[in-house]
Structure 1
Amino acid sequence: MTNNQPQIPGKKHQDERGVITYNNDFDASVVKRIYTIENHSTDFIRGWQGHKVEQRWSACMKGGFEISVIQVDDFESPSKDLEAQKYHLKEGELTYLHVPSGCITAIKATAEDSKLLVLADYLLGEINDEYRYNLDYFNER
């Protein structure tokens, strides 16, 4: 994913003035859109959704998330047996997960009131590149 690493670790500094979380290794020069996701409960899984062209980066702002990522070659009828890689993000780290083009995701909050920051490299409506599948489509879930 970015620099051949799916996660770009963040860092944290604390002193008498407070706490700074930062990620100086994340290059945001291609980001065109920013939004947040807050699932209504930890039982809800937002997925499966993917993009042939668009890529995204996510960081947990509050709580925690499990993000399942599947690399797909055929978006029209992907194999139901594709295996997902699972990544865990938690608040206080500012670690970014890079989801490159050609992937689909399922996003689950692992703590109540969790909030996920998402960055995308295309503006809303700039391209028609959204693919959705039922949550039970893949044998994975």
Structure 2
Amino acid sequence: MQNQQGYYLEDLHEGMEASFAKTVTEADIVLFAGISGDTNPVHINEEAALNSVFEGRIAHGMLTASFISAVLGTKLPGPGAIYLSQSLRFKAPVRIGDTVTAIVRVKEIITKKKRVVLETSCQVLGKDVLEGEATVMVSSKEA
């Protein structure tokens, strides 16, 4: 893998995997609320969140999902990859102080279309909190 170009299509194979880990902070949640406009009290108001089904504040689901984008854009396939689609299934809440590990694994390579299908997940302490599938476009060495 080069600095300005991630993996080329020809360099990928099924089963390749990469990850990114980040501990979610109070600042992450507040900044994400400001950037996204999602000021749902379950994210930013402890008192209101205590009365929710989660019994306390939780991180935005899309904040958690954004860690998948970090893997795709920087590691696998890396710089130059174009994010085309993403399915998401949220399985458990993420809280302030949780370390989320986003994991991406190559599932299928569609050579003719220069597409790669990847299994995606986020885990906290080895437990899936999010799972899904992404499709990206990847450059070919022949292009």
TM-score, normalised by the number of residues in structure 1 = 0.24
Give the helix-richer structure, 1 or 2. 2
Structure with the bigger RCO (C-alpha within 8 Å, sep 6+) is 1
- Structure with a larger share of its residues in strand: 1
